[in-house]
Structure 1
């Protein structure tokens, strides 16, 4: 069946965070802001790895603080 939707690869918050290289709080923040969709049931959040990878690859690099030696 060629018209079938791709299956979601759902993982718990901690695994999604590990895959994205961010803290679990960041994954929860992405979901609360509507950047990724939360699946699962109350008390057991799950996220689609493809969505997590997409948003993680779009995140800006960490800001670097430079100190001047004036």
Structure 2
């Protein structure tokens, strides 16, 4: 987990592969969501990481609307 100054909770950042597995989509979908600004990409160049809670929240909102 990564904690950022001023954040209310620590981020649970995961790799692209784990993010995709967690929500049942392809890795390309995770990358597409990030490039479209739907989720935020963390990590360094060549090592993308995503906030698992942010992805889960987006998927829940998408399925309930």
Which whole-Å CA distance do the structure 2 matches of 1:15 and 1:27 have between them? Answer: 10
1:13-28 paired onto structure 2 within 5 Å: 13-28=16-31
TM-score by length of 2: 0.81
Structure having the larger proportion of residues in helix? 2
* Aligned twin of 1:44: 47
1:1-70 paired onto structure 2 within 5 Å: 5-59=8-62
Paired positions, count: 58
TM-score by length of 1: 0.75
- Runs ≥4 in structure 1, deviation > 6 angstroms? none
Which region of structure 1 is more displaced relative to structure 2, 30-39 or 3-12? 3-12
